[in-house]
Amino acid sequence: MPRLSDPRFTPDCTIVVDGRAVPARAGEPIATALLSAGRPLLARSHKYHRPRGPFCLAGSCQSCLVRVGGQPNVRACRTACAEGLVVETQHALPTAGHDLLGLIDLATPDGLDHHHLGTSSVLLNRAVVAFSRRLAGLGRLPDAACPPPATPREERFDALVIGAGPAGLGAAEVLAGGGCRVLLADSEPRAGGRLRCRLDLPGEPPLALASRVEGSLLATGGELMLDAAVLGLWLDGGAVLALVHQRGAAERLRLVRPARVLLCAGGTAVPAGIEDGDRPGILWGRGLAVALAEHGTVPGRRLAVLGCGVEAEALAARFTAAGMSVARLDSARRALGRARVRALDDGHGGQLPCDTVAVVQPPAPATDLARLLGAPVAFDASARAFAVLADAAGRTAVPGLFAAGEVTGAMDAAAALEAGRRAGEAARG
């Protein structure tokens, strides 16, 4: 299949996937290079060996794990292409495209007790468990041992802002403007969060906001730390300690003791709530929007946008302008196709042919760090998930912990930016 992507993003390198050359752009994620090449199938699921492709394109769903340069379980959506990079699809016999163990899924439509495979004999059970362990699991061990991480030393900041989306940028800007030394951490390789989709927030171009905030952080001795995952927060002597894993060239662990924490981590992509909604080619709308904006990724020829509202309309318009044939559907019952989605069944006897589906729905708030500190959460009906409880100024029940943006419930980008600014004011005070 020829590369479909925006011709302005010309390939300048070649990666090798299961022994076959795939054109790519140096620096773009492996997952987007494969989508552009018409190859959404990356792996097989752990248990049933169902076809798997990238879904979130944002590092959170784990459905894009591949073996890269001898390292297993590397996220294809988080790993940059480079000339000659060797990628292998994993957990398949022999490859994800032709996996003999995919018969497990076909032969067990009603599910499978993979621990015992239904055997009652103790001896047979042991043999079956040993066999089923070979079928399940996550990849083979690395070719070479990983070096142990260096012991981190403690660093102090006036504030740790987690998440550099609209809420985090708003909070960091207010705090830095008040002279605070702020560490702004984000797990993505670029700042902006949902602003990188360029689907909403009229006014200032989103990336201009990010670079303006970075400038004010640097002016007050602060830092924008990208590709950085906050692994944990805990109370130590009444103050919060944070452990941060910084990836990339400067990979290291950092131990941060901030005077206050602003949790603006947004949320994670929620899979399509339809039957067979895990088919390759079904992707999170925001992930697709970022891939189109930053890498020119056009993932197929026929796109079904599944969802409604402003984001769904903007996404449909973007991909129509990029040359795809686009149809919108508020809901569907089932995805058809196997190694790649080929249609959506609307549940009323109709089928919408497509080779790509963009799922548009609010993310599930990323509440785990707040829960580690004991902050209460409550069910948010619009996000259909639990969200951190915070007042209008972003204060939570935990002293020194503030929360703003989609981590507190579904809202648009402009509202998240304002909530971040209010939380920054409250934290500064």
Q: Which residues bind ligand FES (CB under 6 A)?
A: 31, 54-57, 59-64, 75, 77
Q: Which is nearer to ligand FES, 59 or 165 (CB)?
A: 59
Q: Which is nearer to ligand FES, 300 or 394 (CB)?
A: 300
Residues 6+ apart with CB under 8 A from 353: 302, 342, 343
CB of 92 to ligand FES, least distance (A): 17
Cβ atoms of 391 and 423 closer than 8 Å? no
Q: Which is nearer to ligand FES, 57 or 312 (CB)?
A: 57
CB of 363 to ligand FES, least distance (A): 12
Question: What distances in angstroms separate CA 164 from CA 193, 284, 338, one per listed residue?
Answer: 6, 20, 37
Q: Which is nearer to ligand FES, 71 or 216 (CB)?
A: 71
Cβ atoms of 38 and 1 closer than 8 Å? yes
CB of 163 to ligand FES, least distance (A): 17
**111 three-state secondary structure:** coil
Q: Which is nearer to ligand FES, 25 or 75 (CB)?
A: 75
Report which of 173, 195, 190 is spatially closest to residue 182, judged by C-alpha positions.
Answer: 173
| Sheet with strand 20-24: strands edge to edge | 20-24, 13-17, 86-88, 65-68, 71-75
d(CA 416, CA 424): 12
Q: Which is nearer to ligand FES, 63 or 408 (CB)?
A: 63
Q: Is the peptide bond before 40 cis (omega within 30 degrees of 0)?
A: no
CB of 259 to ligand FES, least distance (A): 33
d(CA 362, CA 251): 31
CB of 400 to ligand FES, least distance (A): 31
CB of 166 to ligand FES, least distance (A): 21
Q: Which is nearer to ligand FES, 357 or 375 (CB)?
A: 357
Q: Which is nearer to ligand FES, 53 or 424 (CB)?
A: 53
Q: b vs e for 71-104, b when ≥16 Cβ sit within 10 Å of the residue's Cβ?
A: ebbbbbbbbebeeebebbbbbbeebbbebebbeb
CB of 53 to ligand FES, least distance (A): 8
CB of 282 to ligand FES, least distance (A): 11
The full DSSP string for 207-248 is HHHHHHHHHHHHHTT-EEE-SEEEEEEEEETTEEEEEEEE-S
Cβ atoms of 23 and 2 closer than 8 Å? no
**183 three-state secondary structure:** strand
